Amino acid sequence: MGDTKANKALSLEQLIAKKTQRDAAKVAYKNLMSESLEGELVAKKPDRETAIEYMDNMTSCGESVKEIYAVCKEVVYNSIKMLQKTELHEAYNCSTPDQIVDELFEIEEVLDFGTKIIDWNEEGIEEAKQKLDKEVKAEIKN
């Protein structure tokens, strides 16, 4: 009673179609509701390499809230393109570009947004792990 999906050979056309699906999934956007700004901002999903770097950085933070906040701040700044506008930095008299994150958001929002953006990528990783586990278990049964 093996899983028929696990035993099905993929065709060239299916592999090519998977690439198209993956390419489309790479560029994704998510609306993040800011309570302090009373509106939504659009975040772009980080590419794979950047997402892995963020995950590594977050893992190496341990329990340090200061370090976790710094990673989340970087994630938020880099993912929300509007925050990178020079006009915005000038309007808020920011001495560094990423200071705009501190000027606009409460600490809780930075942590929430940063972890949501990082989790967005981890969701895909977790789904892939679960699928691989199922395929390996099905293969072992056969």
Burial of 118: CB neighbours in 10 Å, binned 0-12, 13-18, 19+: buried
Q: Evaluate whether 108 touches 73 at the Cβ level (below 8 Å).
A: no
How far is it, in rounded angstroms, from Cα 63 to Cα 142? Answer: 44
Q: Kindly report the pTM of this predicted structure.
A: 0.72
How many Å apart are CA 131 and CA 125, to the nearest integer? Answer: 10
**What's the gap between Cα 106 and its chain centre?**
20
- Read off the tokens for 92: 């808020």
What confidence tens digit (pLDDT) does each residue in 82-130 have? 999 999 999 999 999 999 999 999 999 999 999 999 988 766 555 555 6
The full DSSP string for 41-91 is EEEEPPPHHHHHHHHHHHHHTTT-HHHHHHHHHHHHHHH-GGGG-HHHHHH
Please check whether residue 83 is in contact with residue 77, taking contact to mean a CB–CB distance below 8 angstroms.
Answer: yes
pLDDT tens for each residue of 28-66: 899 999 999 999 999 999 988 898 899 899 888 888 999
Domains of the chain and any CATH numbers = 4-141 (3.30.2220)
9 DSSP 8-state letter: P
